Amino acid sequence: MITGLASRVYEGRIRLPKFQREFVWTRGQILDLLDSIARNYPIGSLLLWRSDLPLASERAIAGLPTDPREDEDDTAYLLDGCQRLSTICGALHWEPGDPRSKWNLAYGPPT
Protein backbone atom coordinates (compact mmCIF):
# COMPACT_ATOMS: atom_id res chain seq x y z
CA MET A 1 0.00 0.00 0.00
CA ILE A 2 2.76 2.48 0.88
CA THR A 3 4.74 1.66 -2.25
CA GLY A 4 1.59 2.11 -4.34
CA LEU A 5 0.99 5.50 -2.76
CA ALA A 6 4.54 6.61 -3.57
CA SER A 7 4.13 5.33 -7.13
CA ARG A 8 0.99 7.44 -7.56
CA VAL A 9 3.01 10.51 -6.58
CA TYR A 10 5.75 9.76 -9.10
CA GLU A 11 3.18 9.05 -11.81
CA GLY A 12 1.67 12.51 -11.21
CA ARG A 13 -1.62 11.06 -9.97
CA ILE A 14 -1.11 12.64 -6.53
CA ARG A 15 0.26 16.17 -6.65
CA LEU A 16 1.52 18.69 -4.15
CA PRO A 17 -0.32 22.00 -4.49
CA LYS A 18 1.92 25.08 -4.62
CA PHE A 19 0.55 26.25 -1.26
CA GLN A 20 2.13 23.28 0.59
CA ARG A 21 5.14 24.16 2.70
CA GLU A 22 8.55 22.86 1.74
CA PHE A 23 9.98 19.66 3.15
CA VAL A 24 11.56 20.52 6.51
CA TRP A 25 12.00 17.25 8.41
CA THR A 26 15.36 16.33 9.88
CA ARG A 27 17.08 12.97 9.42
CA GLY A 28 15.93 12.03 12.89
CA GLN A 29 12.28 12.67 12.00
CA ILE A 30 12.70 10.74 8.74
CA LEU A 31 14.18 7.75 10.58
CA ASP A 32 11.47 7.92 13.26
CA LEU A 33 8.76 7.67 10.59
CA LEU A 34 10.52 4.76 8.86
CA ASP A 35 10.84 3.02 12.24
CA SER A 36 7.13 3.52 12.93
CA ILE A 37 6.26 2.05 9.53
CA ALA A 38 8.57 -0.93 10.09
CA ARG A 39 6.98 -1.58 13.49
CA ASN A 40 3.49 -1.27 11.98
CA TYR A 41 2.65 1.70 14.24
CA PRO A 42 0.02 4.23 13.16
CA ILE A 43 1.64 7.13 11.29
CA GLY A 44 -1.34 9.40 10.87
CA SER A 45 -3.50 10.04 7.87
CA LEU A 46 -3.20 11.86 4.57
CA LEU A 47 -5.85 14.22 3.29
CA LEU A 48 -6.30 14.09 -0.48
CA TRP A 49 -8.64 16.24 -2.57
CA ARG A 50 -9.83 15.00 -5.93
CA SER A 51 -10.85 17.98 -8.03
CA ASP A 52 -11.78 18.66 -11.63
CA LEU A 53 -10.16 22.07 -11.28
CA PRO A 54 -6.44 22.04 -12.10
CA LEU A 55 -4.46 23.55 -9.23
CA ALA A 56 -0.95 24.94 -9.55
CA SER A 57 1.22 22.12 -8.28
CA GLU A 58 4.84 21.21 -7.73
CA ARG A 59 6.77 19.03 -10.19
CA ALA A 60 8.80 17.45 -7.39
CA ILE A 61 8.38 16.01 -3.93
CA ALA A 62 11.15 16.49 -1.37
CA GLY A 63 13.53 17.49 -4.17
CA LEU A 64 12.80 14.41 -6.30
CA PRO A 65 11.13 15.02 -9.71
CA THR A 66 7.66 13.66 -10.51
CA ASP A 67 5.95 12.97 -13.82
CA PRO A 68 4.42 16.16 -15.31
CA ARG A 69 1.23 14.31 -16.20
CA GLU A 70 -1.37 16.29 -18.11
CA ASP A 71 -4.39 14.01 -17.51
CA GLU A 72 -6.39 15.76 -14.78
CA ASP A 73 -9.16 13.12 -14.57
CA ASP A 74 -7.32 10.90 -12.10
CA THR A 75 -5.50 13.56 -10.07
CA ALA A 76 -5.69 14.12 -6.33
CA TYR A 77 -4.03 16.96 -4.42
CA LEU A 78 -2.32 16.40 -1.09
CA LEU A 79 -3.78 18.78 1.49
CA ASP A 80 -2.33 17.27 4.66
CA GLY A 81 0.53 14.84 5.30
CA CYS A 82 3.16 16.44 3.08
CA GLN A 83 6.10 15.69 5.39
CA ARG A 84 5.09 12.04 5.82
CA LEU A 85 4.37 11.42 2.15
CA SER A 86 7.59 13.20 1.13
CA THR A 87 9.53 10.94 3.50
CA ILE A 88 7.92 7.81 2.09
CA CYS A 89 8.64 8.90 -1.50
CA GLY A 90 12.19 9.96 -0.74
CA ALA A 91 13.02 6.74 1.07
CA LEU A 92 11.57 4.55 -1.69
CA HIS A 93 12.62 6.45 -4.81
CA TRP A 94 15.94 8.14 -4.06
CA GLU A 95 18.65 7.25 -6.53
CA PRO A 96 22.20 7.18 -5.16
CA GLY A 97 24.60 9.79 -6.38
CA ASP A 98 24.82 12.52 -3.77
CA PRO A 99 26.38 11.13 -0.57
CA ARG A 100 25.21 14.27 1.31
CA SER A 101 21.55 13.83 0.30
CA LYS A 102 19.02 13.67 3.13
CA TRP A 103 17.80 10.43 1.48
CA ASN A 104 21.19 8.70 1.75
CA LEU A 105 20.02 6.66 4.73
CA ALA A 106 20.66 3.28 6.21
CA TYR A 107 17.89 1.70 8.21
CA GLY A 108 17.57 -1.79 9.58
CA PRO A 109 14.18 -3.10 10.66
CA PRO A 110 13.62 -3.63 14.37
CA THR A 111 14.64 -6.95 15.85
Quote the pLDDT of residue 111. 67
What pLDDT, in 10s, does the model give residues 54-107?
Answer: 888 988 888 888 887 776 667 899 999 999 999 999 988 887 877 888 888 876
User: What's the whole-model pTM score?
Assistant: 0.85
Does 45 score more than 90 pLDDT? Answer: yes
Quote the percentage of the chain above a pLDDT of 90: 41
Residue 51: which pLDDT band, with cuts at 50, 70 and 90? confident
Residue 76 phi, psi dihedral angles, 5° rounding: -125, 150
How many Cα atoms occupy the beta-carbon half-sphere of 27 within 13 Å?
Answer: 8
- Domain locations along the chain: 2-93
